[in-house]
Structure 1
Amino acid sequence: MNRRFALKALSALIVAAGLHAPVFAQNAADKTVIKVGQTSGPHAKIMEVVKGIAARDGLTIEVIEFGDYIQPNAALDAGDLDANNYQTKPFMDAQIKARGYKIVSVGNTVLFPMGYYSKKYKNIQDLPEGARVGIQNDPANSGRSLQLLEKSGLIKLKAGVGTTATPADIIENPKKLRFHQLDSAQLPRSLDDLDMAAINTSFAIKAGLVPARDAIVIEGIDSPHTNLLVVREADKDKPWVKKLLKAYQSEEIRKFIETEFKGSGIPTF
């Protein structure tokens, strides 16, 4: 008798567990604590404000800072992060192609116009023949830098190369500029040894530069290189992603970017 009762009780427990399984699965999918990767500097500063807004919607954000452009995507793809916000679409596409990442953009965030900086010249047109020019060593950012030089009239690129341009794609170089490709984080430290260097705004601000004031040439607001909020493909439709994007694309963040960066950062949502 006791044995029959025990079996019935066990069956009831199994049925109950089955009935509640979808609820548990749903709760697991709807995270309340997430890790968001950022490069140190302006991106991290913005995300700290986003963190406060998201908290009011029940979402806790842990901001993880990185000092380079490679690790945030590697960490996201590996599951060590839930999202990141530091990269443009050309950069993300190049990373996906090269490394096979299963990541996707869920929305625009902010544009930090790239500029060229120099300790020797006030005007880009004053560069001498044979000037040493530093650009990034990753394809997306180096292509972006070369496009800005082309727009400034100093070089001409092969037709159609776009953001994938490399120094090998330069077909006209009247001043015989010499290009040195370095890690993005190293470029600000190399200004003493170069005539000019292309520096992403996040690294420029960390180095004490004010892009809107110190760049001798800088991208305009028509630049297509806005930054993106990026998550794993499997997570793109989850409720916490919508909460994170809503917090970032809020009027509070728009005003913060405009006030804090004074033209060196432009909200793109």
Structure 2
Amino acid sequence: MQIAAIARERRHTLLFLDEIRPFAPVHLDTEVDMSEVLAHRAAQSDGHPLSVVTYVLHAAARVLAAHPEANAAIRGHLRPRVARFGEVSGKIALDKEIGGRRVVVSAVLPDLHKAGLAEIQRRVTQLRDGDPEAMPEFASTLLLHRLPGPVARGLYRLAVRPLVRHPRFFGTFAVSSLGHRAVDGFHSVGGTTVTFGVGRIVDRPVVRDGAVGSAPVMRLNLTFDHRVIDGAEAADILTEVKELLESHPDGEAR
């Protein structure tokens, strides 16, 4: 048996997990017929393919804008306070390599409720393809790796705990995807009141007009913080995101 210190490159993950301990998670899930999303993506001719994560970010931002009670954060135990945010900012998890070690990092995309699909994809592509050791979006994460452990912990708490700073560091909702692998669904806590987990798209049997056929189906999971909202509102949010993806993924009513 070998015992070693935890790699500095994973320090930000440990600090994050420690910070979200008060979270009271409840999990929901649904299946989304992705036929409309795939058709819309195939029809794009600008040479910049849209990712499934981009469609989910786009739909979720619009739904969260209509649910201000969920576009919020809570802090405190004895005297809890809730902050409801005017902006809708999405946090995404990214699989990166830092210091030769594979780690997960996150980045926040602000004001997604005002952004179209092309703009969201541009931001996602920049974050996905960029070098985290050279990008300003990850400078604070790299600083945590370099600092002594107690100093890093203190600075992290100073940065994330004030509610007024919450959208900048945590976003107001989060999206995490493992759909590039053989993962049907999973639940994740992104540090936000609402976190979406995105699975793979697989052809599955569906019933339409009484006949059995097949359709590309994606499992969409939602984890919500029960301290902030209740299950009925979380169910509304998940249902509305599903309906947007299935009916008009471009955000335009038909």
Give the TM-score normalised by the residue count of structure 1. Answer: 0.25
Query: Relative to total residues, which structure has the larger strand share, 1 or 2?
Result: 2
Query: Relative to total residues, which structure has the larger helix share, 1 or 2?
Result: 1
